[in-house]
Amino acid sequence: MGLKEGTLESLIESRSDRLSPDIVFREMLEAIDCLALHDLIHRDMKPENILYITRSDGQYQFQLGDFGLCNRSVSAHTFVGSPLYTAPEMFRRGKQTHKVDVWSLFVTMVWVLDVRGFRQKSKQFKSPDEVHEFVLLVASEEQAMSRIREMAIFDPEKRASAAQMLVKCFDGEGLSTPRNKVPALNSSPATVVAKDPAQSVPTPTARTTQKFPRGLQRNTCRIEKARVRQAQPSVHDQLLKGPHLAKRQRLQSKDEQNLQQD
């Protein structure tokens, strides 16, 4: 790979008026799909790792760089990546597939479009859960992200693949996965970003000592255990327990004796 002119992050900061978010999106989908076809996961998709050059027609061409954390899905088990862009299943030590890159690309596009001032907010988040809640909110409510909201589904099994998004948004242009191998994308807007209740509380192993840059503090992927309120017993149930039960038995025995005497 030859030298590149810079990164997507530096290009955004330069306020270039020739930047096309659609081109960034399509070319990164192509990169993820190509990796997925070979059972590879990049695991660190973010603006700083997207490189660009200027083509002869003046348009930018983008390429995914920094493969230092890339791994095969069968060997990808450790927590790596940049917390701001990292998929929820990474924090919960869930199975890692190329779907983690899909989530990261969605967050990257939120950053590129600066949806709800995300670039500034990204420096203020105190935990990964705050990031995830913001991403889910954007996916469900922002019209600008409605076309690609399937990428932000909390459950990776239900999250769209890069190939599916290429088919949906670009009619399959740039696919590496054979078109006949791409499952139909079937999602409902009402449930597309639904957070799986079973995943809302991570296991104890989900804690990490990873350093959290940009305001994400260390050891902040902690979540308090769910507090399940037990149903309060009715007054009738209480009268059938403890000292009430003994008193009731004595009264019942006395009533039976009185009946026998009568």
Q: What is the pLDDT of residue 255?
A: 52
Quick: pLDDT tens for 156-176: 999 999 999 999 999 999 999
Q: Is 44 a catalytic residue?
A: yes
**194 falls within a domain:** yes
CATH number at residue 101: 1.10.510.10
For residue 46, what are the contacts with CB-CB under 8 A and spacing of at least 6? 82, 84, 85, 104, 107, 108
- pLDDT for the residue 67: 82
Domain boundary pick from 171, 190, 206: 206
> What is the residue-averaged pLDDT of the chain?
76
| pLDDT tens-digit series, residues 97-125 | 899 999 999 999 999 999 999 999 988 99
Does residue 133 belong to any structural domain of this protein? yes
The pLDDT tens digits for 72-90 are: 666 676 767 788 999 998 8
| pLDDT of 189 above 50 | no
Catalytic residue among 33, 44, 101, 171: 44
Residues 241, 119 share a domain:
no
First to last CA, the chain: 105
Same domain, 166 and 248: no
> Quick one: DSSP state of residue 90?
H
d(CA 173, CA 181): 15
**Average pLDDT of the segment spanning 209-234:** 37
* Dihedral angle, C-alpha 223, 225, 227, 228, nearest 10 °: 130
- The DSSP code sequence of 200-231 is SS--GGG-------TT--TT----PPP-PPPP
pLDDT of residue 176: 96
Domain membership of residue 246 as a residue range: 233-262
Q: Evaluate the CA torsion angle 146, 104, 183, 195 in order and state its sign.
A: negative
Instruction: Answer positive or negative: Cα dihedral of 216, 128, 165, 69.
Output: positive
pTM equals 0.71
215 occurs within a structural domain: no
Whether the per-residue pLDDT at 210 is higher than 50: the answer is: no
Q: Specify the pLDDT at position 250.
A: 53
Q: Are residues 138 and 14 in the same domain?
A: yes
* 139 shares a domain with 253: no
Q: Are residues 83 and 161 in the same domain?
A: yes
Q: What percent of the chain has pLDDT over 70?
A: 68
Q: Give the integer Cα–Cα distance in Å for 55 and 227.
A: 57
The token pair at 132 is: 């995830």
* Residue 217 is assigned to a structural domain of this protein: no
152 & 37 share domain: yes
Strands (E), 25-96: 40-41, 50-54, 60-64, 71-72
Total structural domains in the chain?
2
- Range picked from 2-6, 186-190, 258-262 for highest mean pLDDT: 2-6
Contact 222, 132 (CB under 8 A): no
Residue that terminates a domain, selected from 191, 206, 221: 206
Give the pLDDT confidence score for residue 7 in this predicted structure: 93
Percent of the chain with pLDDT strictly greater than 90: 47
